[in-house]
Structure 1
Amino acid sequence: MTTAAARKQRIEFGDFQTPDSLALAVCKRLTALGICPDVVIEPTCGVGAFVVAAVQSFPTAKKIMGFEVNSDYLETSRLRLQHELESGRVYLAQADFFATRWQAILEQASGALLVLGNFPWVTNSVQSGIGGVNLPRKANFQHHNGLDAITGKANFDISEWMLLEVFRWMEGRQGDVAMLVKTAVARKVLAHAQRQGLALASSCIIKIDAKKAFDVSVDACLLVVRFNNAVVATDEYQVFDNLESTQGQRVGHRLGLSIADLDAFDAHVALVGKSPEKWRSGVKHDAAAVMELTRHGQTLQNGYGETVDLESDYLYPLMKGSDIGSGKGWRKKYLLVTQRYVGESTDSIRTRTPKTWRYLQKHADILGARASSIYIKNPQFSVFGVGTYSFRPWRIAICGLYKSLDFRLIAPIEGKPVMFDDTVYYLSFDEEAVAQKVFALLHSDAAKELLSSLIFWDEKRPVKASILNMLDWSLMQEGKIKSPQQSQLPLGICA
């Protein structure tokens, strides 16, 4: 197989073969959890690491079955397991997960079942991008609406679909599922199972070092789910730091939400409500080289290196998400804000600021080529994420991409409110005193502990507006919360 073809196959099949040592460590942890299967099924067994580990770790299992779509991998597994195949205890077969009639196989598996393995670590959008066919039949299994599909929420990991399919195998029987997956996928399927009321007797997430095991930089885990129809389904699970850890953190679901730390959430649940001021995201324009400018001495330059001469009317100081998240000051950047509210006509720019109008016209092709349909339906040179709130002078801001709750108090610069890019969430205020008061409340222990309990820090954008908007800081009365020392609060930014 050529290098290019091999690379495509690795991507298409999410092909990360499990090291033998990790497979054995996983099975050791499963036995410590009291899992003692009569039948083991590995639906995507690859070169057989988990089948070999199951043979060694579960001596009372009557049948261990491995299935694999790749004939070369299957042959490797057969060579490794020749003796067990001859004895009849191990069964190996070539099978495409998405085309196999699993129900017929499951009907032959009597007793306690363990479904074990490592499903592909690849999304359906990546599959489509390389022309891959290793996909389930098209179906809106997550029940997303059209808008969610447009914004990417309909993109899913193939392993997510496969895990939910395996959960369906367990309906009406006793057994366990133990699968290496991305941590985000594990949380999604557990949330889905909870919404669907599936009979999960217990579950846990055990973190693994994916960089060490697979040489990939992704948060991954062993997901263990135990099924028993005689047990009432639970809405919580534990997260362990590694395969040797015995002390876990309580995670689960409350009020229809996925909670990262149930102990902290339960301690501060009285603060859950609606933020008195709505958290907003920064300005969306999708044309940074045109709309964002930097001052060098007395001149402005755009992203193309062009010297630009504009009136100041539509120019506002800009701080990027990286500035907010890293604690940096203002770097003499500006944003061209063409509207004060979404949908406002931009015709007045022509007469009010002719130089700005000529600049926009010069780059009209670039601005007109912005791909999102939201620009097509709105006035020429439109931006989004603007409203009355955008022009209040004082802000409290946080970058959604950073893995910390570091709020910044941002003062006006050059007599104008500071604008942000759309990786930043912020509150805006007319008065400095009010902004200072809310800033102190957000830095209180109670506020940070509640918000942290709702945040899964391994996500790409862990801090979300939906989470920030759940904290009702108006309920936090002075004297009833423990606030940090004033000297510990991040400083506001002055002109």
Structure 2
Amino acid sequence: MKSASRVERGDWQTPLDLARQVSHLAARLGARPASILEPTCGRGAFLQAAAEVFPGTFARGFDINVEHVERARLALAGRPAAIDVGDCFDVPWEDVLAKMPEPLLVLGNPPWVTSAELGARGSRNLPPKSNFKRFSGLDAMTGKSNFDVSEWILLRLLAALRGRDFRVAVLCKSSVARRVMEHVAREGTPYAGATYRIDARGAFDVAAAAVVMTLATRAPGEAPPRGWAVFDSLDAERPERTMGVHGGRLYSDIERFERTKALEGDCTPAWRSGLKHDCAPVMELEAKGGALVNGLGERVDIEDLVVFPLLKGSDVANGRRPGRRFVLVTQRWLGEETRTLREQAPRAWAYLVRHEEKLDVRKSSIYRDKPPFSVFGIGPYTFAPYKVAICGLYKKLAFSLVEPHEGRPVVLDDTCYFLPFEAREQAEAALLALQSEAARVFFEARVFWEDKRPIGKGLLQSISLAALGGARG
């Protein structure tokens, strides 16, 4: 299959050995199916593996690709199976499932592609338009309404399976499994679930955090589970933690949440994001041989007024001191008129005009209709002399104190979050609180380390420094 078409359909065939492991996991968890369904069967790896683990059980499979369906039929030749060409977005799943005896076992690997990716490719391989995540207003029209196609398929199947005796064991991204878990909790459906980490790079050469998600109806009278067990591998017998939903919010470790919920609150001062400029070759400078040099290799002679020491996320995470990198800051607050630089810093203005073409092609819509050479993540807090900072991209809780460099406040890049302080004593007290054991347990209960940016403003803002100070005392 051509690469573009493969990506559009999320066509990454599951290795047969992995499908066998998932089928054995389902059996180990108690699956004794009367029928098996693979909704996006591809070449039939899961159907073949399930036929080996559950011999004689009737299986149904669907796939949009005619060649895949033919290969799946050959793989299942002589076994009780029906494999048809069908678009999972259009298949009448209630009708299909009504003809399948219980208990049902749903296996598979739905496409790992998002609606935004498909839209950018002009693809028509999308589910019917609907606000299925129930966002309102602007959220329904912007990035929050983006979703993984596998998430849509799984929620569609769960709707069709309502009231049936079933078990699900499917491959998906960790983030998709979490959203399904939130959906199940929100709907109040009596299901028990778990996740088992897999090596997506080894299986599919894909750099994504992925799991086998299991989900099953509970027996009558069975107590509802506290949450979803999280296993480190398909072979693990004991979970490393238990995820859970409380108050509509998902927590990565429900036991640690219970121990630290008294620390929840709105952090004061508020956490801030670092500076965003989207043009490093022009805006970021490096000290070399007594001069400042930009990313284009040019020596830059501009006024000190607009030049500030810079720490990037990697610097913060690794405890590096300022003094090597610098950044050109064109504004003091969001939306400030920049043309005043023509009088206040004429050399800097001339430098910016010389590189105007590079700055004008910045892709983000946030620069549209703003003063020329605007930046974002800017305000009085940017120039606070003392900061407690952390990089959002690193998978570790590494808070650090950022002090002025040669009398100038240090600016952080937009991979960082920070608390601004005027006094060193205040910053040191906040740092000590955030480095405490109580804070570590609090964040560990709420962070999902597999995310691309595991540490975000929402997470940081949710801890009360005042309550944390009391917990430390």
RMSD across aligned C-alpha pairs, in angstroms? 2.2
Identity over aligned residues, as a percent? 40
Deviation larger for 299-308 or 415-424: 299-308
Q: Given the alignment of the two structures, is residue 95 of structure 1 paired with residue 95 of structure 2, yes or no?
A: no
Q: Given the alignment of the two structures, is residue 70 of structure 1 paired with residue 65 of structure 2, yes or no?
A: yes
In the TM superposition, residue 103 of structure 1 has moved relative to its aligned partner by 2.2
Taking the aligned partners of 1:31 and 1:126, their CA distance within structure 2 comes to 35
The one of 137, 156, 160 equivalent to 1:165 is 156
- The answer to whether the 8 A contact 1:194-1:235 is kept is no
Aligned residue number for residue 439 of structure 1: 431
Deviation larger for 40-49 or 101-110: 101-110
Q: Structure 2 vs 1, CA of residues 294 and 225 (structure 1 numbering), >3 Å: closer, same or farther? A: same
In the TM superposition, residue 481 of structure 1 has moved relative to its aligned partner by 3.1
Taking the aligned partners of 2:348 and 2:203, their CA distance within structure 1 comes to 55
Aligned residue number for residue 448 of structure 1: 440
In the TM superposition, residue 290 of structure 1 has moved relative to its aligned partner by 1.9
- The answer to whether the 8 A contact 1:39-1:113 is kept is yes
Matches within 5 A, 1:425-436: 425-436=417-428
Taking the aligned partners of 2:76 and 2:361, their CA distance within structure 1 comes to 58
In the TM superposition, residue 146 of structure 1 has moved relative to its aligned partner by 6.3
Aligned residue number for residue 204 of structure 2: 214
Matches within 5 A, 1:11-160: 11-59=7-55, 61=57, 63-84=58-79, 89-144=80-135, 148=139, 152-160=143-151
Taking the aligned partners of 1:28 and 1:350, their CA distance within structure 2 comes to 70
Taking the aligned partners of 1:142 and 1:319, their CA distance within structure 2 comes to 38
Aligned residue number for residue 348 of structure 1: 340
In the TM superposition, residue 151 of structure 1 has moved relative to its aligned partner by 6.5
Taking the aligned partners of 1:150 and 1:169, their CA distance within structure 2 comes to 27
1:61-86 CA distances to partner (integer Å, 9 max, x unpaired)?
Answer: 4x2112222222222222222211xx
Q: Given the alignment of the two structures, is residue 225 of structure 1 paired with residue 215 of structure 2, yes or no?
A: yes
| 2:342 maps to amino acid | R
In the TM superposition, residue 147 of structure 1 has moved relative to its aligned partner by 5.2
Q: Classify the secondary structure of the residue corresponding to 1:82.
A: coil
Taking the aligned partners of 2:15 and 2:356, their CA distance within structure 1 comes to 54
1:178-230 CA distances to partner (integer Å, 9 max, x unpaired)?
Answer: 211111111122112322x1414201111112223223232111111113596
Taking the aligned partners of 2:88 and 2:467, their CA distance within structure 1 comes to 52
Aligned residue number for residue 2 of structure 2: 6
Taking the aligned partners of 2:34 and 2:316, their CA distance within structure 1 comes to 55
Matches within 5 A, 1:162-201: 162-195=153-186, 197-201=187-191
| 1:54 maps to amino acid | A
In the TM superposition, residue 149 of structure 1 has moved relative to its aligned partner by 6.8
- The answer to whether the 8 A contact 2:184-2:191 is kept is no
The one of 389, 393, 399 equivalent to 1:397 is 389
Taking the aligned partners of 2:305 and 2:280, their CA distance within structure 1 comes to 19
Q: Classify the secondary structure of the residue corresponding to 1:268.
A: helix
- The answer to whether the 8 A contact 2:271-2:457 is kept is yes
The one of 341, 347, 362 equivalent to 1:370 is 362
- The answer to whether the 8 A contact 1:198-1:233 is kept is no
Q: Classify the secondary structure of the residue corresponding to 2:2.
A: helix
Aligned residue number for residue 194 of structure 2: 204
- The answer to whether the 8 A contact 1:441-1:476 is kept is yes
- The answer to whether the 8 A contact 1:173-1:229 is kept is no
TM-score (structure 2 length as normaliser): 0.94
Q: Given the alignment of the two structures, is residue 298 of structure 1 paired with residue 293 of structure 2, yes or no?
A: no
Taking the aligned partners of 2:235 and 2:345, their CA distance within structure 1 comes to 66
- The answer to whether the 8 A contact 1:240-1:247 is kept is yes
| 1:28 maps to amino acid | H
1:33-80 CA distances to partner (integer Å, 9 max, x unpaired)?
Answer: 11222221111112222112222222474x211222222222222222
Question: How many residue pairs end up in the alignment?
Answer: 471
Q: Classify the secondary structure of the residue corresponding to 2:171.
A: strand
Deviation larger for 276-285 or 51-60: 51-60
Q: Classify the secondary structure of the residue corresponding to 2:12.
A: coil
- The answer to whether the 8 A contact 1:174-1:229 is kept is no
- The answer to whether the 8 A contact 1:447-1:473 is kept is no
Q: Classify the secondary structure of the residue corresponding to 1:440.
A: helix
Q: Classify the secondary structure of the residue corresponding to 2:172.
A: strand
Taking the aligned partners of 1:24 and 1:254, their CA distance within structure 2 comes to 35
The one of 310, 313, 327 equivalent to 1:335 is 327
TM-score (structure 1 length as normaliser): 0.90
- Structure 2 unaligned residues grouped into runs of 5+: none
Taking the aligned partners of 1:119 and 1:384, their CA distance within structure 2 comes to 38
Deviation larger for 326-335 or 423-432: 326-335
- The answer to whether the 8 A contact 1:175-1:228 is kept is no
| 1:162 maps to amino acid | I
In the TM superposition, residue 271 of structure 1 has moved relative to its aligned partner by 0.6
Taking the aligned partners of 2:224 and 2:56, their CA distance within structure 1 comes to 28
Aligned residue number for residue 490 of structure 1: none
Deviation larger for 456-465 or 24-33: 24-33
Taking the aligned partners of 2:68 and 2:135, their CA distance within structure 1 comes to 36
Deviation larger for 416-425 or 27-36: 27-36
In the TM superposition, residue 436 of structure 1 has moved relative to its aligned partner by 0.9
| 2:68 maps to amino acid | Y
Taking the aligned partners of 1:450 and 1:240, their CA distance within structure 2 comes to 21
Q: Structure 2 vs 1, CA of residues 407 and 477 (structure 1 numbering), >3 Å: closer, same or farther? A: closer
- The answer to whether the 8 A contact 1:38-1:60 is kept is no
Q: Structure 2 vs 1, CA of residues 184 and 347 (structure 1 numbering), >3 Å: closer, same or farther? A: same
In the TM superposition, residue 467 of structure 1 has moved relative to its aligned partner by 0.2
| 1:353 maps to amino acid | A
In the TM superposition, residue 397 of structure 1 has moved relative to its aligned partner by 0.8
Q: Structure 2 vs 1, CA of residues 121 and 107 (structure 1 numbering), >3 Å: closer, same or farther? A: same
Q: Structure 2 vs 1, CA of residues 149 and 472 (structure 1 numbering), >3 Å: closer, same or farther? A: same
1:132-181 CA distances to partner (integer Å, 9 max, x unpaired)?
Answer: 33321232322345655786333322111111111111112221222111
Q: Classify the secondary structure of the residue corresponding to 1:313.
A: helix
Aligned residue number for residue 492 of structure 1: none
Aligned residue number for residue 321 of structure 1: 313
| 1:92 maps to amino acid | I
Taking the aligned partners of 2:63 and 2:446, their CA distance within structure 1 comes to 39
Taking the aligned partners of 2:158 and 2:341, their CA distance within structure 1 comes to 58
| 1:104 maps to amino acid | D
Aligned residue number for residue 493 of structure 1: none
Deviation larger for 22-31 or 422-431: 22-31
- Structure 1 unaligned residues grouped into runs of 5+: 483-495
- The answer to whether the 8 A contact 2:229-2:243 is kept is yes
